[in-house]
Amino acid sequence: MDHNKAIKFLYKLSSKLNKFYRLNYNKKLIINNKSKRKKLFNPVTNFDKNFEKMIRTNIIKLFPLDGIIGEEFKEKKGKNNNCWIIDPIDGTKAFVAGLPTWSNLVGLMYKKKSLVGMANFPELKKTYISYNDTSYSLEKKRKIKLKIGV
């Protein structure tokens, strides 16, 4: 499978996610506990759901046959061997606390094998994309290869 289209998509998606966050960050935060156990706090916010809706909409527009597994909504079965995995806000507790270390995680699998993944940190203005056993940082619209080790 040629995954260049998915790589380009994730580069563009990171900008869309950051813009989406900047336009909505000052809206009212609604927090619910999605844990079924009373003593466990597993927060979900309106931002988690809105990020996931936005990500799904963008995926469906470009990859209508692909499956989607997200954290907040039902699985969309695919009509091919591609499946997108979404964690709209990884670190919801940090997000709720106002810490900048939360991220949007989006990845693509082909036949259950990871092809490409993105970690986008809107507050930190950092995006990382990995594919072909190499990771890159996106900085000022440039792709910088990350070095492993010291």
Tens-digit pLDDT profile for the chain (150 aa)?
568 899 999 999 999 999 999 999 999 999 999 888 878 888 999 999 999 999 999 999 999 999 999 999 999 999 999 999 999 999 999 999 999 999 999 999 999 999 999 999 999 999 999 998 899 998 777 888 987 765
pLDDT of residue 150: 53
pLDDT of residue 41: 87
* Beta strands 103-110 and 134-139, pairing class: unpaired
pLDDT of residue 2: 63
Q: What DSSP assignment string belongs to 42-67?
A: -EEEHHHHHHHHHHHHHHHHH-TTSE
pLDDT of residue 82: 96
Closest CA to 111 of 85, 83, 149: 83
Question: What is the pTM (predicted TM-score) of this model?
Answer: 0.92
